[in-house]
Amino acid sequence: MGVEKKNRSEILYRLAADLFVKSKGDEDLSSKIDRLRDGIKKEIESENTIFGKFRELVESFEGIIPEEKQRYNAAVKALSTTSKLSRQEIVKAVNNQLEELKTLEKGLVPALAGWRDEFKEMKAKSLEIRDEISKLRKKIGRLESEEKGILNDMVAREKEMEPVEKSVGELFTEMGAEITDIKKKIEEFTFEGAASQPIPPRASIHKSDIPGEEKGGGKQKNEIRESSAPQDTEWEKACPMCGGRLSFHVKDEMWLCYTCAYEESKKG
């Protein structure tokens, strides 16, 4: 009998423990509770117990005696007759079943406290994660502050460098324009195949500057000088202003003296 009761207790323990196991599949809590209830009834409401016999009598009278009070009185009288028990003994037996239920509860519930240990571990893990989140938030706040400082520095640096960049660009543009202008003037004022370099003007010689001993031969020297003077060509001729040489610019159709800067149109 003791072995049988022990086996029933182990079954109840497994049924109760199953309530605290995470559900798998479609099985819900109500079905687990129903199995535990059936197991407890088998333990404390067996046919061999007074409580079990009394409850069986009450249920059997339901179809015969509709009124509940009369039904309970009839069950007490019937149990007193069959078991030779007084009303007080029946009440005491039912009360004993209540105490047995409490004892059974005390035996099952503490053994099921393992889920609380699991709960404590989960709570500790939660606190650990919360602490880590707090640290990350502080780090994020610090990083955001650093980022804000960098962005402000970027804006200030950009404002500082924009005029510098603009000035450097303008400098190179100005110098490039100057060089380009010089190049254009070279191309405009000169041309390939120019006849010769500018000839300096002839110095004016007055008769008073000629020594006396050379005056006699002045006519001969003038003739030599006149005969050695350059002849006018299609591209060069004498400058009427300084006596230098005028060079003809085909592009502009102009005569230009490189000595005195005298200009003369082709028609002139």
Instruction: Determine the residue type at 23.
Output: S
Nearest to 115 by CA among 223, 16, 10: 16
Which of 84-93, 138-147, 170-179, 196-205 shows the lowest mean pLDDT across its residues? 196-205
How far apart are the C-alpha atoms of 221 and 217, rounded to whole Å? 6
The C-alpha angle with vertex 129 and arms to 126 and 132, in degrees rounded to 5, equals 155
Query: What's the chain's length in residues?
Result: 268
- Which residue is listed with tokens 């299609």? 234
At 91 the three-state DSSP class reads helix
Cβ neighbour number for residue 242 with a 10 Å cutoff: 17
> For the chain, what percent of residues have pLDDT higher than 90?
25
How far apart are the C-alpha atoms of 166 and 133, rounded to whole Å? 48
pLDDT at residue number 221: 47
At 158 the three-state DSSP class reads helix
Task: For the chain, give the mean pLDDT.
Answer: 76
Quote helix, strand, coil % in the chain, to nearest 5: 65, 5, 25
Which of 141-145, 217-221, 235-239 shows the lowest mean pLDDT across its residues? 217-221
pLDDT at residue number 189: 87
The answer to whether the beta carbons of residues 94 and 50 sit under 8 Å apart is yes
How far apart are the C-alpha atoms of 260 and 198, rounded to whole Å? 10
pLDDT at residue number 128: 93
- Which residue is listed with tokens 């500082």? 160
C-alpha to C-alpha distances, 259 to 121, 140, 203, 231, nearest whole angstrom: 107, 80, 13, 18
Residue 199 has pLDDT above 60, yes or no: no
How far apart are the C-alpha atoms of 67 and 28, rounded to whole Å? 36
pLDDT in tens, 118-166: 778 888 999 999 999 999 999 999 999 999 999 999 999 999 999 998 9
pLDDT in tens, 92-120: 888 887 887 787 777 666 555 666 777 78
pLDDT in tens, 4-23: 555 555 666 666 656 665 55
How far apart are the C-alpha atoms of 190 and 201, rounded to whole Å? 21
